[in-house]
Amino acid sequence: MMFRIRQAAEVLGVSDDTVRRWADQGRLPSTLDASHRRVIDGRALAQFAEELASQAPVVTTRTVAQSARNHFRGLVTKVSKDGVMAQVEIQAGPFRVVSLMSREAADELGLAPGVLAVASVKSTNVVVEIPEE
């Protein structure tokens, strides 16, 4: 699939001018389509997006407050992973809490049996957190 400059800018979250500048500098390969408009191959755009993300600064803030009220502190007792998803079981006192998440998230958190974890439970999928300043 080929992306026009505006589409590439939307995907990357930058301005059209930024994409044009990157293309002019050779950072982002582009060609001309049959109408002589500059286009970017989807595979090249995907690779470039990954490179941009890897160069982005990592924001590390601690959460000091959040909207979820139900917190279950306990030990991870089981982690089952497949190619994409992970099922994590936490024993929090008499309560067994099971969470489904991406395998990538479970790996990034280092979840394994014996790890201390907190399950934050809310009836919606959105949890608002306030970072420490």
Give, to the nearest 10 degrees, the angle between helix 5-12 and helix 42-55: 30
Could you tell me the pTM of the whole model? Answer: 0.54
In one-letter notation, the amino acid at residue 65 is A
Q: What pLDDT does residue 59 have?
A: 64
Q: Could you tell me the two tokens for 24?
A: 């002019």
- Counting beta carbons within 10 angstroms of the beta carbon of residue 44, is it exposed (0 to 12), middle (13 to 18) or buried (19 or more)? middle
Domains of the chain: 2-55 (1.10.1660.10), 63-131 (2.40.50.100)
- Segment 24-80, tens digit of pLDDT: 999 999 999 999 999 999 989 988 988 887 787 766 677 777 776 788 888 899 999
